Amino acid sequence: MTARRREDPLRRAVRLLDVPWRRVAGAVTLGALALGCAVGLAAVAAWLIARASQQPPVLVLSVAAVTVRAFGVGRGTLRYAERLVSHDVALRGVVSLRTTLYARLAAGRSEAVAALREGDLLARTGADADAVGDVVVRAFVPAGVAAAVSLLAVAIVGVLLPEAGAALLVLLLVVGVGAPWLADRAARETERRSVRARADMTAATLDVLGDAGPLAVSGALDARLDDLRRADRELVAATDVGARTSATSEAIQTAATGVAVVAALLLGVPAVASGRLSPEDLAVVVLTPLAAFEGVGALPAAAVQLRRSRAAAARIMALLDDAAPDPSAPAPVAVTPSDDGTALAAHDLACGWPSRPAPAVAGLDVTVPAGGSLAVVGPSGAGKTTLLLTLAGLLAPVGGRLERHAEASWTAEDAHLFDTTVLENLRVARGGVTEDEARDALAAVGLGPWAASLPDGLDTVVGPGGDAVSGGERRRLLVARALVSRAPVLVIDEPAEHLDPEGADAVVRMVLGLTAHGRTVVMATHHRGALDAADAVLSLDDAHAPAA
pLDDT of residue 116 exceeding 80, the answer is no
Half-sphere exposure of 486 toward its Cβ, with a 13 Å CA cutoff? 7
pLDDT at position 468 is 66
For residues 190, 195, 196, 198, the Cα torsion angle rounded to the nearest 10 degrees is 100
Provide CB contacts within 8 A for 315, sequence distance 6+: 123, 124, 128, 195
Mean pLDDT score across all residues of the chain:
84
Cα separations in angstroms, 92 against 47, 87, 96, 129, 130? 43, 8, 6, 12, 11
pLDDT digits (tens, 9 = 90+) for 388-413: 988 988 888 888 888 888 888 888 88
The separation between CA 70 and the C-alpha centre of its own chain, rounded to angstroms, equals 41
Return contacts of 460-465, CB within 8 angstroms, 24+ apart: 460/421, 460/422, 461/419, 461/420, 461/421, 462/417, 462/419, 462/420, 462/421, 462/422, 462/425, 463/417, 463/418, 463/419, 463/420, 463/425, 464/209, 464/210, 464/419, 465/419
Other residues' Cβ atoms within 10 Å of the Cβ of residue 337: 6
d(CA 486, CA 299): 54
What pLDDT is attached to residue 499?
A: 72
**pLDDT value of residue 546:** 38
Please state which of the ranges 174-183, 450-459, 517-526 shows the lowest mean pLDDT: 174-183
Report the distance separating Cα 179 and Cα 177, nearest Å.
6
How does pLDDT run across 263-278, given as a tens digit for each residue?
A: 999 999 999 999 898 8
CA pair distance 535, 532, nearest whole angstrom: 8
Q: What is the pLDDT, as a whole number, of residue 544?
A: 45
pTM (global) more than 0.85: no
What's the pLDDT score for residue 105? 84
Using alpha carbons only, what angle is made at residue 267 by residues 264 and 268, rounded to the nearest 5 degrees?
Answer: 75
Name residue 499's amino acid: L
Pick from 147, 152, 153, 151: nearest CA to 260: 153
Task: Tell me what pLDDT residue 543 has.
Answer: 44
What string of DSSP letters covers 409-473? Answer: EEE-TT----SEEHHHHHTTT-TT--HHHHHHHHHHTT-HHHHHHSTTGGG-EESTTSB---HHH
What is the rounded distance in angstroms from the CA atom of residue 505 to the CA atom of residue 491?
Answer: 18
* pLDDT value at residue 96: 92
- DSSP state, residue 381: T
The beta-carbon contacts of 153-160 under 8 Å, at least 24 apart in sequence, are 153/39, 153/288, 153/289, 153/291, 153/292, 153/295, 154/292, 156/39, 156/43, 156/284, 156/288, 157/264, 157/284, 157/285, 157/288, 157/289, 157/292, 160/277, 160/281, 160/284, 160/285
Query: Percent of the chain having pLDDT more than 90?
Result: 25
Query: Band of the pLDDT at 119, cuts 50, 70, 90?
Result: low
Cα separation values, 64 from 67, 68, 193, 220, 339, Å: 5, 6, 53, 71, 91
CA 287 to CA 278: how far, in whole Å? 15
* Biggest alpha carbon–alpha carbon distance for the chain: 106
pLDDT above 50 (res 547) = no
Residue 67: C-alpha distances to residues 41, 43, 49, 157, 182 (Å): 8, 11, 13, 18, 38
- CA within 13 Å, CB half, 227: 17
Distance CA 195, CA 169 (A): 37
Amino acid present at 100: T
Exposure string of 123-156, with b = 16+ CB inside 10 Å and e = fewer, is bbbeebbbbbbbbbbbbbbbbbbbbbbbbbbbeb
Average pLDDT over residues 454-471: 79
DSSP state of 138: I
pLDDT tier, 78 (very low <50, low <70, confident <90, very high otherwise): very high
Cα–Cα distance, 144 to 82 (Å, whole number): 12
pLDDT attached to residue 548: 30
Beta strand 342-351 with 361-369: parallel, antiparallel or unpaired?
Answer: antiparallel
In this prediction, residues 213-232 reach a mean pLDDT of 77
d(CA 131, CA 109) in angstroms, rounded, equals 25
Question: Higher model confidence: residue 240 or residue 522?
Answer: 522
Strand partners, 490: 409, 521
**Beta bridge partners of residue 402, listed in sequence order:** 346
The kind and range of the H/E element at 522 are: strand 520-524
Query: Which range, 243-247, 379-383, 543-547, has the best average confidence (pLDDT)?
Result: 379-383
Asked whether 349 and 390 are in contact (CB, 8 A), the reply is yes
Q: Do 411 and 490 meet the contact criterion of CB atoms below 8 Å apart?
A: yes
Residue scoring higher pLDDT (285 or 208): 285
Q: Where do the domains of the chain lie, and which CATH numbers do they carry?
A: 11-323 (1.20.1560.10), 332-548 (3.40.50.300)
Angstrom distance (rounded) from CA 458 to CA 434: 11
